[in-house]
Amino acid sequence: MKRFYKDAGIAQDGTGFHVLLDGKKVRTPARNALTLPTAALAEAIAEEWRGQGDEVVPTAMPLLRLANTVQDGIGPAREDVVTAILRFGENDHLCYRGEGELKRRQAEAWDPPLAWAAEALDARLLVTEGIGHIAQPPEALSALRTAIAAYDDYALASLHVFASITGSAVLALAVAAGRVSVEEAFHISRLDEAWQAEKWGLDFEAEQRAKRLAHEMNVAAQFLALSRSAD
């Protein structure tokens, strides 16, 4: 759509922070006034609006898209989102190992976050070889659910992105807790792909997809940090 505003700014009222376009509050796709927890996040989203040219391109505003998801999607269906993230724990990528040298590399990179989950979250997940499903202990999954549900809606949005891209609820929680960086989590989640690339060579399309996914994780990490920022 064509740009319909001149200026983007922010304002605060009793409900939180808002993004203003020519003095009018930005609304979500569900027509709710976009309400944000920090001035830092509101300002970053206002900057996305300022950065639009003659045409408004929604895909060029990833922070706004995540904020809309929080307000229209996660808020009304919080338990469903917690369950969706937990499913990545039920089949956590870190629990499925290969053979030989790949298995050694996986153990070196993946055992530390699993050990952290066991110690810090009381979530002791089982590890297996191959791709056959292994049922995780109910008490471990209950501990993961408790850890996920402890986060606010903004963090849940980022957790869902982290878990979806890495295939791991443990890595998602480790990033949110500051245990590993978003870059490290992305890197170690792709050990299998790196192993295949060593054996068969790089694939251009796979490389481009990896770059896109890494960018999405970085945006989610930025969104998480801004939503927590002290103003």
Kindly report, residue by residue over 39-58, the tens digit of the pLDDT: 999 999 999 999 999 999 98
Please say whether the beta carbons of 66 and 218 come within 8 A.
Answer: no
Domain 8-59, CATH 3.30.2180.10 — does that match?
yes
Of 176, 161, 152, nearest to 84 (Cα)?
A: 161
If you search the block for the tokens 């949110």, which residue do you land on?
176
pLDDT at 204: 78
Residue ranges of the chain assigned to CATH 1.10.3580.10: 76-228
Q: First-to-last CA distance in the chain?
A: 33
CA 27 to chain centre: 23
Q: Nearest 5°: phi and psi at 82?
A: -60, -45
Residue ranges of the chain assigned to CATH 3.30.2180.10: 8-59
pLDDT at 200: 79
What fold, for 76-228? Answer: ATP12-like fold (1.10.3580)
pLDDT tens for the chain, 231 residues long, are 899 999 999 999 999 999 999 999 999 999 999 999 999 999 999 999 999 999 999 889 999 999 999 999 998 899 999 999 999 999 999 999 999 999 999 999 999 999 999 999 999 999 999 889 999 999 999 999 999 999 999 999 999 999 999 999 999 999 999 999 999 999 999 999 998 888 877 787 888 999 999 999 999 999 999 999 765
Residue 121 in tokens? 């979250």
Radius of gyration of the chain (CA): 20
User: How far apart, in whole angstroms, are the C-alpha atoms of residue 3 and residue 1?
Assistant: 6
Please say whether the beta carbons of 93 and 167 come within 8 A.
Answer: yes
What are 4-39's pLDDT values in tens digits?
999 999 999 999 999 999 999 999 999 999 999 999
pLDDT at 230: 64
